[in-house]
Amino acid sequence: MGRIEEVWNADRLIGDFGMKLLEAREGYARVSAKVEERFLNAHNIGHGVLLFAVADVAFALSVISVEYAVGVQYSMNVVRAAMPGDEVIGESRIFHKGRQQMVCELTVTDGSGRVLARGQATALPVSRSAYVEKQPEGKSG
Amino acid sequence: MGRIEEVWNADRLIGDFGMKLLEAREGYARVSAKVEERFLNAHNIGHGVLLFAVADVAFALSVISVEYAVGVQYSMNVVRAAMPGDEVIGESRIFHKGRQQMVCELTVTDGSGRVLARGQATALPVSRSAYVEKQPEGKSG
Amino acid sequence: MGRIEEVWNADRLIGDFGMKLLEAREGYARVSAKVEERFLNAHNIGHGVLLFAVADVAFALSVISVEYAVGVQYSMNVVRAAMPGDEVIGESRIFHKGRQQMVCELTVTDGSGRVLARGQATALPVSRSAYVEKQPEGKSG
Amino acid sequence: MGRIEEVWNADRLIGDFGMKLLEAREGYARVSAKVEERFLNAHNIGHGVLLFAVADVAFALSVISVEYAVGVQYSMNVVRAAMPGDEVIGESRIFHKGRQQMVCELTVTDGSGRVLARGQATALPVSRSAYVEKQPEGKSG
């Protein structure tokens, strides 16, 4: 079993949020989640946490496809609301793979392909044992 | 009922995550959540989404204490892992309140007060009707 | 004279840095600067401030092509060094134009087209008088 | 000669911008620059590049006080304009020192102590030889 399946199956939040794996290959991943009732905020639209969640899970899968690593920095601009019942799709693509860091561009779209949010995230490589046990700094999910 | 209670009660994700409101006053808010089994990632530590969630909810409450607004930008550095069963506390403080934007500093700590993550977030004011109905851009949660 | 030329000619730092305007149209701009001796840091490579400068000037031009606005938020990942004597090119493209904010993606490349840095920036619209006089919050350059 | 003096003297941009070193100790640094004519933008206020520059130089000094490292990520919110002839002060404090990364909080104030900008920045450690020669990824200034 590859690292992507390992993370996909072991991550409890992915299951709890009912995410679907749309695509995952070296340096790239795309996942989706439905804007269920429990993910609505005070004005009845999809919560910012849900947008972050699909971006973050795509990010984790895209970097883990290359090597064990933990996410340490996130920047995200939210530009449009997710509507109840719609799908939100998180996408991550590594645009820099260095010895000390991997940097990804993140995009969140709705079911019609409209951009809801865009951002960037940074991951630092860790050894497999550090990854599986616990890590000294940062986190991966 | 004030705007803080209005948001706290109407936001479905706050309820679903089992968050507690520790403190909320003008320009400041602090909330907590427990690192339950369902919030663990592939290496059995608290998911990054949970850290973001407590920071984002504190952010939303701190700005809503001042006026109706939607969050549009988030930057966060994660520096330490959240352990299973521990509490994570999200805190937000407005450090700039302008006519066109509010900017907050965000801190996430664990039950021992150690910093897990720090960041900043930006909110844009909206009219109450736009807030309650749906907003043209951005989101609040 | 259009807003782009107005800003290009009136901005003193653009002149001081010896920047060249490579392209500017609605929602997009690209500028360059040479990595001169005065822009070298302690390890004899192009200073981070120079990378930020070409990105920021491209950003200002891309938003001003649409309307008077001031920059309020910047996020940037630096992934590779700029070498002495090389050109650095800053590029900005608006990916969201809303009523209350414009959001751009920023890219900095070297003379060979390799990515040195990537980021995002946010601008808030202001009236022309506020722009020309001074603005209540934020800045445009 | 310590690492701080080494960087301060060797960085050409620090000299070109006429910066002053106000304070530097382990994990902390504060520098200033004057909002000269050449640093004004199109609406006659201090350029965003100048605000970034004092923050970035303070950042570089604060991390170099601890170990050789290169800056890889910057996030900054600008909330107020710098006026011509005023001083701008950049301040950086390490809030996380890990094995793989150092993370700092950045503040830019004017001569009256009012906050102009706030942000965070991340640095990755490098060996001295990599630092002095040139580095494979990232940059330090």
Residue D121's pLDDT is what? 98
Eight-class DSSP state of C103: E
Residue D15 in tokens: 């000299």
Residue D136's pLDDT is what? 46
Q: Which helix (H) or strand (E) holds D62?
A: helix D48-64
What pTM, to 2 d.p., does this model score?
A: 0.93
Q: C69 and C63 in contact (C-beta within 8 Å)?
A: yes
Which distant-in-sequence residues (6+ apart) come within 8 Å of D140 by Cβ? C41, C42, C43, C48, D7, D60, D64, D69, D70, D71, D123, D131
Residue D125 in tokens: 């450690």
Measure the N-to-C terminal CA separation of chain C; round to a whole number of Å: 19
Residue D43's pLDDT is what? 87
CB of A77 within 8 Å of any CB in chain D? no
Mean pLDDT across the stretch D69-77? 97
| Averaged pLDDT of chain D | 92
ipTM, two decimals, is 0.92
Nearest-Å Rg of the Cα atoms of chain A is: 15
Give chain A positions within 8 Å (CB) of B138. 78-81
Burial of A27 per CB tally in 10 Å (0-12, 13-18, 19+)? middle
User: How far is Cα C58 from Cα C11, in angstroms, rounded to an integer?
Assistant: 12
Nearest CB to C120 within list A98, A101, A118: A118
Residue A15 in tokens: 């299951």
Nearest CB to C137 within list D7, D80, D119: D80
Q: How confident is the model at residue D124 (pLDDT cuts 50, 70, 90)?
A: very high
Q: Which helix (H) or strand (E) holds D130?
A: helix D128-132
Higher pLDDT, D22 or C127: D22
Eight-class DSSP state of D36: -
Q: Which of residues 112-141 of A touch D (CB under 8 A)?
A: 122, 124, 136-138
Q: Is the pLDDT of residue D103 over 80?
A: yes
User: How far is Cα D129 from Cα B71, in angstroms, rounded to an integer?
Assistant: 44
In angstroms, the separation between the Cα of residue D60 and the nearest Cα of chain C is 10
Mean pLDDT across the stretch C89-97? 98
DSSP states of A12-68 as a string? HHHHHTT-EEEEEETTEEEEEEE--GGGB-TTSSB-HHHHHHHHHHHHHHHHHTTS-
User: How far is Cα A68 from Cα A124, in angstroms, rounded to an integer?
Assistant: 9
Residue A135's pLDDT is what? 45
CB of A80 within 8 Å of any CB in chain C? yes
Q: Which parts of chain A register pLDDT below 50? A: 134-136, 140-141
Which of B40, B19, B20 shows the shortest CA–CA distance to B84? Answer: B40
Which distant-in-sequence residues (6+ apart) come within 8 Å of B52 by Cβ? A49, A52, A53, A56, A74, B74, B76
Q: Which of residues 7-26 of C touch D (CB under 8 A)?
A: 7, 10-13, 15-16
Give the length of chain C. 141
Residue A132's pLDDT is what? 55
Kindly identify which residue of chain A lies nearest to residue D125, measuring between CA atoms.
A100
CB of C96 within 8 Å of any CB in chain A? yes
Give chain D positions within 8 Å (CB) of B98. 79
Q: Is the pLDDT of residue D139 over 70?
A: no
For an interface test with D, give the residue of B51, B73, B96 to mutate (most D CBs within 10 A): B96
User: How far is Cα D43 from Cα D58, in angstroms, rounded to an integer?
Assistant: 26
Contact assignment for C119 to A119 by CB distance below 8 Å: no
DSSP states of C21-45 as a string? EEEEETTEEEEEEE--GGGB-TTSS
User: How far is Cα B140 from Cα A44, in angstroms, rounded to an integer?
Assistant: 10
Mean pLDDT across the stretch C65-94? 97
Residue D74's pLDDT is what? 98
Per-residue tens of pLDDT for chain B, all 141 residues:
689 999 999 999 999 999 999 999 999 999 999 999 999 999 899 999 999 999 999 999 999 999 999 999 999 999 999 999 999 999 999 999 999 999 999 999 999 999 999 999 999 999 777 665 544 455 544
Question: Amino acid identity of D11?
Answer: D
Angle of the D48-64 helix axis to the D3-10 helix axis, nearest 10: 150
Question: Which domains does chain B possess?
Answer: 3-132 (3.10.129.10)
Kindly identify which residue of chain C lies nearest to residue D136, measuring between CA atoms.
C80
Percent of chain D predicted with pLDDT > 90? 87
Q: B141 and A49 in contact (C-beta within 8 Å)?
A: yes
The alpha carbon dihedral of C98, C99, C105, C108 has a sign of: positive
Residue B127's pLDDT is what? 79
